[in-house]
Structure 1
């Protein structure tokens, strides 16, 4: 298999990997920035830690590195617009994204928290390692805000969905 074919097949395979949709935000020197991310997971409970993978060319990476903090905002099923704006689909960049999508409050560290996110998890950056095209950012949890009750926004096969889209028998499995 050629390298080009492998990359193409890999990209198609990853479209089948359903993931929660998150907006990762940071603030440094009065400048807010953020991005949509699906490569997010919990890493440890002791200490409480999260992992997020961010493409090396994403502008928000500089604010995360400079501030030393980031916030993972877990989106609910009705927040597709927020995801689209922070994924760059509206053309907005930097501060303009926050004005177009949602209401925001600063965390104790200053990292923006989406007011009606299912959960907002503020992390202090502890490690940043580059692997291929992405940086792996590991952060220790410093603050959590919960707004439970809605269904999370899921992304797979190049489209949004929710857990409620699954038949009841499949959800129980």
Structure 2
């Protein structure tokens, strides 16, 4: 198998990997920034830690480094438009993304938390490791805010979905 063929097959395989949709936010001085990410997961219970994979060319990465904090805003099924804005589909950048997407509350560290997200997980940056085209940001959890009553927004096969989209038989499995 050629390298190009492997890359194409890998890309197609990753489209089958369903993931929750998150908006990662940060604030350094008076500058807020953020991005949409699906490469997010819990890392450890002790210490409570999360990891986020961010493309090396994303501007928010330098602001995460400078502030030392980031917030993982776990989106609900009603927040697809917010994901699109932070993914760059509206053309908005930096502060404009926040102005287009609803209300935000600063965390104890000042990091923006999206009001109405399923959960906001504020992390203090512990380390950044470079791997290929991305940086792996590891943070210790410093604050959590929970919201009840909705289903998470999921992304797979190049489209948004929800857990409620699964047939009942698949949910029971």
- 1:96 correspondence with 2:82: no
1:127 is aligned to: 127
1:136 is aligned to: 136
In structure 2, how many angstroms separate the alpha carbons of the residues matched to 1:148 and 1:64?
28
1:52 is aligned to: 52
Deviation at 1:141, TM superposition (A): 0.2
1:10 is aligned to: 10
Number of corresponding residues: 173
Unaligned 5+ residue runs, structure 1? Answer: none
- RMSD of the TM alignment (CA)? 0.6
Moved over 6 A (4+): none
In structure 1, how many angstroms separate the alpha carbons of the residues matched to 2:137 and 2:95?
22
1:69 is aligned to: 69
1:12-27 map, 5 Å: 12-27=12-27
Q: Deviations over 1:42-85 (max 9, x none)?
A: 00111110010000000100110000000000000000000000
What is the TM-score of this pair, normalised by structure 1? 0.99
Deviation at 1:110, TM superposition (A): 0.9
